[in-house]
């Protein structure tokens, strides 16, 4: 698989889509493992508009070997190198009748084990006993996200809308977007494909209008070393997992 073009797209536009990373059977195996999970834990969010599992790989470890198949490992290593590790995993299930939407934003925080006052790190937030903090800009610039699509996704069931190349502009407040010069793109992604994006890419998603589910696994990766006082709240050297 020649991923040179995809690497260039990520550098220049802030995102890229790669098709056929997972077969239909691999998707079904992942969903079966998720559906077996105990949903009573507080890391599981349940509402009419969204079901989510935070720290997915910790809560449902049976998914690890299924998610990190040979294709996904090869994609990560060819585009980003061999020094990256996983630092966050979330499963999102946006139901058929969901009115849940997310306005334009950048992903400006990382998940850590505790709150420690360190220059350059802050502010902190805490949700469901998990800490998040905004780190120095260079950490966000080096990180990347992979979204595994378990359903076909388009403008009608919450595909991400992004502003091309906004990842290259540092902290970019949504209220300052100049729509006369910025370009919005809908990232339609097929079932079994992945979308790779940079955290600083401005992105949003709309309400569902076509009565179709949108299930996505959101994985964040880093190769950055945190100050010794802090640890990633989730860490996995995925290269050591079987596939």
240 part of a folded domain:
no
- pTM of the entire predicted model: 0.94
Beta strand residue intervals within the chain, DSSP E: 15-18, 44-46, 51-54, 85-94, 102-105, 110-112, 124-127, 130-133, 144-149, 160-163, 184-187, 194-197, 203-205, 214-222
> Per-residue pLDDT for 243 more than 60?
no
Helix (H) or strand (E) holding 32: helix 24-35
In the predicted structure, residue 158 carries a pLDDT above the cut 90: no
Please give the pLDDT value at position 47: 72
pLDDT of residue 79: 97
State which residues form the domain around 78: 4-235
What is the domain-level CATH number for residue 39?
Answer: 2.60.120.620
Let me know if residue 192 belongs to a domain: yes
For residue 242, being part of any structural domain is answered with: no
| Domains: count for the chain | 1
Q: Is residue 30 part of a domain?
A: yes
pLDDT in tens, 23-66: 999 999 999 999 998 777 776 777 766 788 999 999 999 999 99
170 confidence band (pLDDT: 50, 70, 90): very high
**N- to C-terminal Cα distance for the chain?**
18
Residue 168 in domain: yes
Q: Which of 215, 207, 242 is nearest to 27 (CA)?
A: 215
Q: What is the pLDDT of residues 92-141, one digit of tens each?
A: 988 777 777 899 999 999 999 999 999 999 999 998 778 999 999 999 99
Q: Is residue 215 part of a domain?
A: yes
For the cut 90, the answer to whether the pLDDT of residue 207 exceeds it is no
Domain contains 28: yes
With respect to residue 241, please indicate whether it lies within any of the assigned structural domains: no
**3-class SS at 7?**
helix
């Amino acid at each position: 698989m020649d991923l040179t073009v995809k690497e260039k797209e990520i550098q220049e536009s802030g995102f890229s889509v790669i098709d056929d990373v997972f077969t239909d059977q691999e998707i079904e195996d992942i969903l079966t493992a998720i559906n077996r999970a105990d949903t009573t834990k507080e890391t599981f969010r349940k509402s009419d508009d969204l079901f989510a599992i935070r720290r997915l790989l910790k809560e449902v470890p049976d998914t690890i070997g299924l998610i990190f198949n040979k294709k996904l490992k090869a994609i990560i290593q060819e585009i980003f190198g061999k020094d990256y590790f996983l630092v966050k995993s979330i499963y999102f299930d946006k139901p058929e009748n969901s009115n849940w939407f997310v306005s334009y934003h950048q992903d400006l925080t990382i998940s850590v084990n505790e709150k420690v006052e360190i220059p350059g790190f802050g502010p902190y937030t805490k949700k469901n006993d998990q800490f998040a903090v905004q780190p120095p800009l260079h950490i966000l610039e080096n990180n990347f996200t992979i979204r595994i699509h378990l359903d076909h996704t388009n403008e009608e069931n919450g595909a991400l809308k992004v502003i091309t190349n906004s990842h290259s502009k540092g902290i970019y407040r949504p209220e300052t977007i100049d729509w006369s010069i910025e370009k919005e793109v809908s990232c339609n992604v097929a079932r079994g494909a992945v979308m790779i994006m940079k955290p600083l890419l401005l992105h949003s998603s709309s309400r569902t209008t076509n009565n179709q589910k949108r299930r996505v696994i959101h994985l964040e990766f880093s190769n950055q070393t945190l100050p010794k006082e802090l640890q990633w709240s989730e860490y996995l050297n995925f290269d050591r997992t079987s596939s």
